[in-house]
């Protein structure tokens, strides 16, 4: 419904005179989203194509903040090598951003995780010390509130302490997890998000919003403008204290009216509907975990922190898992993904759709069990269960 509407209104959200209403709507969406994380009026941000772009834009902003001459000189200076820290469970968009920005993936440290797949803070500190001792320049930590595989939540408060002490930019890759802040149950775990310099999140994952709608929030919006504002004589821009020119907040000039999708979902359904939907997905993930724990030949691979559920057929080989997953997908029941954790192979379900039901979850676990047993993946490895 909203996508054809968007296409027909064709607002170009670059400078406010071309799209004054859109500028106001985008600002109110950003203010609302920032408020969820405790950001104040100094904060700002921009709607993006997704979480990967939001993280790329965040690291760009961090780079300009760290190296004031970056706009003119790029990284073509004799200054020390910059280093980015993230966890071994981070999304590859962090490496991609480092590669695109000229930092280089050799300068991204993937800090080991603890038994719950969260970044180990003492290992982070040790890596920073080692890099400083070797003459490199630590500059940014990307923590993840909701990792892509298991949904683990890095210890954001402890990482923020390190970043404060070490004067490092803290970015949160919340593309999957940040919007679980909407759940009362997660509020405490997400309280330290307000201390991050920037947060990437994805309304197109949890806010009833069709693709594409990602978002970057930055605690000090002046830093966004420092990275992205360029003056151009061919743009007739008039200043207005109430209006923002979104071309100054990101790399795009022409851009679509993504904020309308988030704003209209919020206006139509209200924030309580979002909260209920998020809680519903958390409940379903817990339900799935309970079913798996009650099935003798299945086992969870990781604690269920949000709505990603990683599990495996006990003792089954990698080939068994691949075959069972392919059959489940092939018969059209559900599209689960592979999970790799600690060198072990399994499967991953992730509940993000508010229309998913307990019946869907039962169907998936039931079909997986049936397929695994028919293929012998269970019988070969766990005779005692049959
Ligand atoms: C933690 C994390 N970061 C980044 C992304 C990429 O987000 P997008 O597909 O919106 O670029 C995802 C996608 O699932 C994710 O889970």
Domain boundaries along the sequence of the chain: 2-270, 272-385
**Percent of the chain, pLDDT > 70?**
96
pLDDT tier at 238 (50, 70, 90 boundaries)? confident
* 155 has pLDDT over 60: yes
89 within ligand 1 shell (Cβ under 6 A):
no
Alpha carbon of 77 to ligand 1 centroid (Å):
32
Average pLDDT over residues 72-82: 96
Residues ≥6 apart with Cβ < 8 Å to 272? none
Sole residue written with tokens 């691979």: 301
First to last CA, the chain: 50
Chain centroid, CA 363 distance in Å? 28
pLDDT of 7 over the 70 cut: no
CA atoms within 13 A on the CB side of 114: 13
The DSSP result for 254-267, as a single string, is S---HHHHHHHHHH
CA distance 338 to 179: 24
Task: Give residue 385's pLDDT.
Answer: 44
Domain 272-385 CATH class label: alpha beta
pLDDT digits (tens, 9 = 90+) for 356-372: 999 999 999 999 999 99
pLDDT at 218 > cutoff 90: yes
**Structure confidence at residue 158 (pLDDT):** 98
Q: Determine the angle formed by the axes of helices 271-293 and 258-269, rounding to 10 degrees.
A: 90
Owner of token pair 């012998």 = 376
Question: What pLDDT does residue 384 have?
Answer: 46
Q: Residues of 129-159 as b/e, b for ≥16 C-beta within 10 angstroms? A: eebeeeeeebbbbbbbbbbbbbbbbbbbebb
Distance (angstroms) between ligand 1 centre and the Cα of 235 equals: 34
Cβ pair 229, 248 in contact under 8 A: yes
Between CA 99 and CA 105 the distance in angstroms is 6
Ligand 1 center to residue 370 CA distance, Å? 32
Contact (CB, 8 A) for 173 and 151: no
Return the bridge partners of 349, or none: 309
Residue 146 CA: nearest ligand 1 atom is 1
CATH among 3.40.50.300, 3.40.50.720, 3.90.700.10, 3.40.640.10 for 2-270: 3.40.640.10
**Residue 82 in contact with residue 137, Cβ under 8 Å?**
yes
Ligand 1 lined by 97 (C-beta under 6 Å): no
Q: Is the pLDDT of residue 194 over 70?
A: yes
Closest CA relative to residue 199, chosen from 382, 356, 55, 9: 55
CA of 108 to the centre of ligand 1 (A): 18
Tell me the per-residue pLDDT of 280-321, one tens digit each, with 9 for 90 and over: 999 999 999 999 999 999 999 999 999 999 999 998 999 999
Q: Over 80: is that where the pLDDT of 5 sits? A: no
Return the pLDDT at 233.
79
Which atom of ligand 1 is found nearest the CA of 202? 10
State yes or no: pLDDT of 2 exceeds 70: no
User: Is 214 near ligand 1, meaning CB less than 6 Å away?
Assistant: yes
For the chain, give the percent of residues with pLDDT over 90.
87
Cα–Cα distance for residue pair 213/257, rounded to 1 Å: 10
Q: Which residue matches tokens 């209209």?
A: 264
pLDDT tops 80 at residue 3:
no
Q: Quote the pLDDT of residue 331.
A: 95
Ligand 1 center to 272 CA (angstroms): 25
């Amino acid at each position: 419904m909203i996508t054809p509407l968007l296409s027909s209104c064709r607002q170009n959200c670059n400078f406010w005179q071309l799209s004054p209403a859109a500028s106001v709507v985008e600002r109110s969406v950003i203010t609302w989203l920032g408020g969820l994380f405790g950001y104040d009026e100094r904060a700002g941000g921009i709607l993006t194509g997704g979480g990967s772009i939001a993280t790329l834009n965040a690291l760009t902003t961090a780079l300009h903040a760290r190296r004031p001459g970056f706009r003119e000189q790029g990284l073509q200076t004799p200054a020390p090598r910059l280093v980015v820290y993230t966890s071994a469970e981070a999304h590859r968009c962090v490496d991609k951003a480092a590669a695109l920005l000229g930092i280089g993936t050799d300068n991204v440290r993937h800090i080991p995780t603890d038994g719950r797949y969260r970044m180990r803070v003492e290992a982070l500190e040790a890596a920073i010390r080692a890099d400083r001792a070797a003459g490199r320049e630590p500059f940014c930590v990307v923590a993840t509130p909701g990792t892509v595989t298991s949904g683990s939540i890095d210890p954001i408060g402890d990482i923020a302490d390190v970043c404060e002490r070490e004067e490092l930019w803290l970015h949160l890759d919340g593309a999957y997890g940040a919007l679980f802040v909407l759940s009362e149950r997660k509020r405490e775990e997400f309280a330290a998000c307000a201390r991050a310099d920037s947060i990437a999140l994805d309304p197109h994952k949890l806010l009833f919003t069709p693709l594409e709608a990602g978002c970057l929030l930055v605690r000090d919006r002046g830093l966004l403008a420092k990275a992205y504002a360029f003056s151009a004589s061919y743009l007739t821009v008039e200043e207005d204290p109430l209006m923002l020119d979104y071309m100054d907040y990101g790399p795009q000039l022409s851009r679509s009216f993504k904020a309308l999708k988030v704003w209209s979902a919020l206006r139509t359904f209200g924030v309580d509907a979002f909260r209920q939907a998020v809680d519903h997905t958390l409940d379903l993930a817990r339900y799935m975990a309970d079913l798996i724990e009650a099935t003798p030949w299945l086992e969870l691979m990781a604690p269920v922190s949000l709505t990603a559920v990683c599990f495996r057929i006990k003792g089954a080989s990698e080939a068994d898992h691949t075959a069972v997953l392919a059959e489940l997908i092939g018969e059209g029941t559900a599209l689960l993904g592979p999970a790799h954790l600690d060198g072990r192979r399994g499967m991953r379900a992730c509940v993000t759709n508010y229309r998913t039901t307990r019946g869907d979850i039962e169907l998936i676990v039931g079909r997986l069990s049936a397929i695994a047993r028919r293929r012998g993946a269970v019988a070969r490895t766990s005779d005692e269960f049959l």
